[in-house]
């Protein structure tokens, strides 16, 4: 018999997987982006089943609320038919796409294969972490002390991505008009 | 959900009631909007149908229900029909996360031949303890209904309206979220109940360079701790609800009706309900954060309970507890209505911004001021608790 928490986990997991597949498989980018929204919301729900309500809320605000709204907005500004036509042609391009997804799937598969049989080694939560304000405080403390290096590295990574996006938007050819 | 049938049923009914409160306040607000605008422009407004024109709302509802639903020829069915439903969800979920009255405790009682209780109920749909984060997260999903409506209608005006709407909502969400950081730092919690509890009590009490000061004639409200944050929050909430002076998504002079050009009848009504729902959420947040939530100024919470139980209004302690909570709910509703009136007042007073003015205001004025408010509050908090 499934407990309600188990049911919620499997249900949300299924929803996020199905709509995650939808992100990849839909040919219409708008539908892909809306599938991404539902994936984000169900991931927020999974955070919620783990009692991490702060992270669930932040997931909703940042990813479902802001980032994906921008995705959808930018997609609506594009000439989608032209984009779909130019993006889907070329043997080399398809080869690179297949190789990239193969590498990613291989990494994921290896990781799952290497870890699924072993018992998960969670650090035991401190007893007071169930109180939301304490949990949020713990999160902030560990984010800005223990994990400050990775936190800052991710910041630099985002900066690099922004610079890369600006550079890519300035080149012509590919999906861009050569005008 | 609850530990027995009674609690589960009460919690389900509560969720339904909160949704119905949101939906049923809409006709009253529409009536208010018409009458208040008429009053402000020295007109009568609708006053023929029923007393004060109140039955006009019923006629409107019938009209909305019986209009022919239509579908644009090249529209996308999933998005076109999904958008009005999506418009209702964020407002309803966000309103359900805000405490509308004091929580109450029911003693053990006998009913239908068995013992029930004791129970603790909250006047709120659900409470996750991080309150405001969930409310902001859920209400940030409101942009999707406009985007889906704009894209699914397959109409240039709709699409332009939707693009404007989403750009505006994303821009102002930043200022909205940042303006709340100040007040969250003052209260040092995310929970609505803790925030309201800290605003109860009569004299305005604050620390200044390590000494405790108090102003006897002011209530202990958040607005006195963070007036700039309150102002920015209230202004940004106008943009979030797409009301005038920020109603560029449906600027009828330029875009016919913006994102809901292709909608009519009940679907259009659902967009209206969503918009008014967002207004209610913003007003409720305003009341909760800056004006003491459901508490009554100059009156202690206990004296309300004493008044109910001693005044002969309710003999049984359970009924007294419920009635006390109901009084707090009415007080909260009164505060919410005051802010909704300000929304209506502003709508009929200020003209619409131009689009570049809107973006300038959001990014170059409100966001820096909200950041400044955060820094100022941090500095003030650091110094006020430290003796010279």
Residue A102 pLDDT class (50, 70, 90 cuts): very high
CATH of domain A1-81: 1.20.120.1200
For the stretch B25-84, pLDDT in tens is: 888 888 888 888 888 888 888 888 878 878 888 888 888 888 888 888 887 888 888 888
Instruction: Give the relative orientation of helices B265-290 and B227-240 as an angle to the nearest 10 degrees.
Output: 170
CA distance A67 to chain B (A): 9
- Measured between CB atoms, does A61 come within 8 Å of chain B? yes
Contact B296, B304 (CB under 8 A): yes
Q: Do B163 and A69 touch (CB under 8 A)?
A: no
Q: What is the pLDDT of residue B153?
A: 84
Q: Do A76 and B169 touch (CB under 8 A)?
A: no
Give the ipTM of the model, two decimals please: 0.80
Contact B135, B277 (CB under 8 A): no
Q: Which residue of B has its CA nearest to A40?
A: B141
CA distance A121 to chain B (A): 27
- Measured between CB atoms, does B162 come within 8 Å of chain A? yes
Say if residue B89 is preceded by a cis peptide, omega within 30 of 0.
Answer: no
CA distance A53 to chain B (A): 7
Q: What is the pLDDT of residue B106?
A: 79
- Measured between CB atoms, does B134 come within 8 Å of chain A? yes
- Measured between CB atoms, does B137 come within 8 Å of chain A? yes
For the stretch B132-153, pLDDT in tens is: 888 888 888 888 888 888 888 8
CA distance A8 to chain B (A): 14
CA distances from residue B311 to B104, B300, B304, B305, B323 in whole angstroms, order as listed: 19, 16, 10, 10, 12
Q: Which residue of B has its CA nearest to A55?
A: B133
Q: What is the pLDDT of residue B386?
A: 63
Mean pLDDT within A41-54: 86
Asked if pLDDT for residue B257 goes beyond 90, the answer is no
A·B CB contacts under 8 A: 91
Q: Do B137 and A48 touch (CB under 8 A)?
A: no
**Which residue among A66, A72, A133 sits closest to B147, beta carbon to beta carbon?**
A72
Percent of chain B with pLDDT over 90: 7
- Measured between CB atoms, does B140 come within 8 Å of chain A? yes
Residue A65 pLDDT class (50, 70, 90 cuts): confident
For the stretch A6-21, pLDDT in tens is: 888 899 999 999 999 9
Asked if pLDDT for residue A93 goes beyond 70, the answer is yes
DSSP string computed for B32-93: HHHHHHHHHTT---S-SSSGGGTTHHHHHHHHHHHSPP---TT--HHHHHHHHHHHHHHHHH
Gap between the Cα atoms of B88 and B272, Å rounded: 9
- Measured between CB atoms, does B169 come within 8 Å of chain A? yes
From chain B, pick out residues whose CB is under 8 angstroms from the CB of A66: 140, 170, 173
- Measured between CB atoms, does A26 come within 8 Å of chain B? no
Best mutation target among B94, B133, B162 (most A Cβ atoms within 10 Å) is B133
Q: Report the range out of B99-108, B174-183, B217-226 with the highest average pLDDT.
A: B174-183
Residue A155 pLDDT class (50, 70, 90 cuts): very high
Q: What is the pLDDT of residue B313?
A: 67
From chain A, pick out residues whose CB is under 8 angstroms from the CB of B128: 48, 53, 56, 132
How long a stretch of residues is chain A? 179
Tokens of B10: 């009460």
- Our CA angle for B275, B276, B280, nearest 5°, is 120
Q: Do B163 and A37 touch (CB under 8 A)?
A: no
Q: Which residue of B has its CA nearest to A73?
A: B163
Q: What is the pLDDT of residue B301?
A: 75
In chain A the first and final C-alpha atoms are separated, in Å, by 63
Q: What is the pLDDT of residue A156?
A: 94
For the stretch A79-88, pLDDT in tens is: 677 766 666 6
From chain B, pick out residues whose CB is under 8 angstroms from the CB of A32: none
Torsion angle (degrees, nearest 10) of CA A13, A16, A20, A21: 60
Q: Which residue of B has its CA nearest to A131?
A: B129
Tokens of B67: 């209009």
Best mutation target among A34, A59, A65, A74 (most B Cβ atoms within 10 Å) is A65
Gap between the Cα atoms of B239 and B174, Å rounded: 11
Torsion angle (degrees, nearest 10) of CA B5, B7, B12, B18: 160
Place of tokens 């892909």: A32
- Of residues B165 and A134, more confidently modeled: B165
Q: What is the pLDDT of residue A92?
A: 79
Burial class (CB in 10 A: 0-12, 13-18, 19+), A67: middle
CA distance B135 to chain A (A): 8
- Measured between CB atoms, does A65 come within 8 Å of chain B? yes
- Measured between CB atoms, does A71 come within 8 Å of chain B? no
From chain A, pick out residues whose CB is under 8 angstroms from the CB of B143: 65, 69
Q: What is the pLDDT of residue A139?
A: 80
CA distances from residue A130 to A8, B2, B130, B187 in whole angstroms, order as listed: 19, 19, 11, 20
Gap between the Cα atoms of B367 and B365, Å rounded: 6
Contact B64, B265 (CB under 8 A): yes
Q: Which of residues 18-77 of B touch A (CB under 8 A)?
A: none
Contact B162, B149 (CB under 8 A): yes
CA distance B224 to chain A (A): 24
- Of residues B126 and B331, more confidently modeled: B331
Mean pLDDT within A53-57: 85
Gap between the Cα atoms of B154 and A76, Å rounded: 11
For the stretch A20-40, pLDDT in tens is: 999 888 878 888 888 998 999
Sequence-ordered list of residues with C-beta below 8 angstroms from that of B105, at least 6 positions apart, any chain: B118, B119, B120, B121, B321
**Which backbone phi and psi does B120 adopt, to 5 degrees?**
-120, 120
Gap between the Cα atoms of A40 and A98, Å rounded: 25
Residue B294 pLDDT class (50, 70, 90 cuts): confident
From chain B, pick out residues whose CB is under 8 angstroms from the CB of A75: none
Q: Do B138 and A60 touch (CB under 8 A)?
A: yes
Gap between the Cα atoms of A100 and B119, Å rounded: 57
- Measured between CB atoms, does B177 come within 8 Å of chain A? yes
Mean pLDDT of chain B: 83
């Amino acid at each position: 018999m499934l407990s309600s928490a188990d049911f919620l986990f499997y249900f949300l997991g299924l929803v996020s997987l199905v709509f995650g597949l939808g992100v990849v498989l839909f040919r219409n980018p708008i539908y892909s982006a809306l599938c991404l929204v539902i994936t984000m919301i169900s991931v927020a729900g999974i955070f919620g089943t783990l009692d991490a309500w702060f992270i669930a809320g932040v997931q909703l605000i940042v990813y479902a609320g802001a980032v994906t709204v921008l995705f959808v907005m930018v997609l609506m500004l594009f000439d989608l038919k032209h984009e779909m036509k130019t993006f889907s042609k070329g043997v080399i391009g398809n080869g690179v796409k297949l190789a990239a997804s193969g590498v990613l799937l291989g990494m994921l598969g290896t990781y799952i294969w290497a870890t699924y049989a072993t018992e998960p080694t969670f650090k035991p939560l401190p007893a007071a972490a169930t109180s939301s304000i304490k949990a949020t405080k713990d999160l902030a403390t560990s984010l800005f002390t223990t994990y400050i290096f990775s936190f800052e590295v991710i910041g630099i990574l985002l900066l690099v991505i922004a610079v890369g996006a600006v550079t890519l938007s300035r080149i012509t050819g590919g999906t861009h008009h050569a005008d | 959900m609850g530990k027995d049938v009674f609690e589960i049923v009460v919690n389900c009914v509560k969720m339904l009631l909160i949704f119905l409160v949101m939906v049923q306040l809409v006709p009253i607000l529409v009536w208010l909007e018409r009458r208040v605008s008429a009053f402000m422009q020295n007109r009568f407004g609708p006053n023929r149908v029923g007393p004060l024109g109140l039955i006009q709302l019923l006629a409107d509802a019938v009209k909305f229900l019986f209009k022919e639903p239509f579908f644009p020829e090249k529209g996308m069915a999933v998005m076109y029909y999904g958008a009005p439903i999506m418009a209702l969800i964020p407002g309803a979920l966000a309103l359900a996360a805000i405490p509308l009255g004091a929580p109450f405790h029911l003693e053990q009682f006998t009913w239908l031949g068995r013992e029930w209780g004791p129970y603790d109920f909250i006047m709120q749909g659900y409470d996750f303890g991080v309150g405001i984060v969930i409310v902001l997260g859920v209400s940030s999903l409101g942009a999707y209904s406009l985007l889906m409506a704009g894209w699914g209608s397959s109409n240039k005006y709709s699409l332009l309206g939707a693009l404007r709407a989403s750009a505006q909502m994303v821009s102002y969400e930043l200022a909205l979220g940042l303006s709340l950081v100040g007040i969250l730092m003052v209260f040092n919690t995310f929970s609505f109940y803790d925030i309201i509890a800290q605003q109860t009590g009569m004299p305005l009490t604050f620390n200044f360079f390590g000494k405790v000061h108090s102003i006897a004639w002011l209530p202990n409200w958040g607005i006195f701790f963070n007036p700039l944050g309150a102002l920015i929050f209230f202004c940004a909430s106008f943009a979030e609800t797409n009301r005038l002076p920020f109603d560029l998504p449906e600027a009828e002079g330029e875009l016919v009706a913006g994102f809901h050009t292709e909608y009519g009848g009940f679907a259009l009504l659902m967009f209206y309900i969503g918009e008014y729902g967002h207004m209610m959420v913003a007003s409720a947040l305003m009341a909760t954060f800056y004006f003491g939530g459901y508490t009554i100024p100059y009156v202690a919470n206990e004296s309300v309970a004493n008044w109910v139980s001693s005044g002969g209004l309710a003999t049984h302690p359970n009924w007294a507890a419920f009635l006390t909570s109901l009084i707090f709910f009415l007080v909260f509703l009164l505060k919410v209505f005051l802010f909704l009136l300000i929304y209506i007042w502003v709508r009929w007073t200020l003209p619409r911004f131009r689009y570049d003015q809107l973006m300038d205001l959001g990014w170059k004025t409100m966001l820096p001021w909200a950041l400044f408010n955060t820094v100022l509050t941090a500095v003030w908090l650091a110094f006020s608790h430290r003796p010279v």
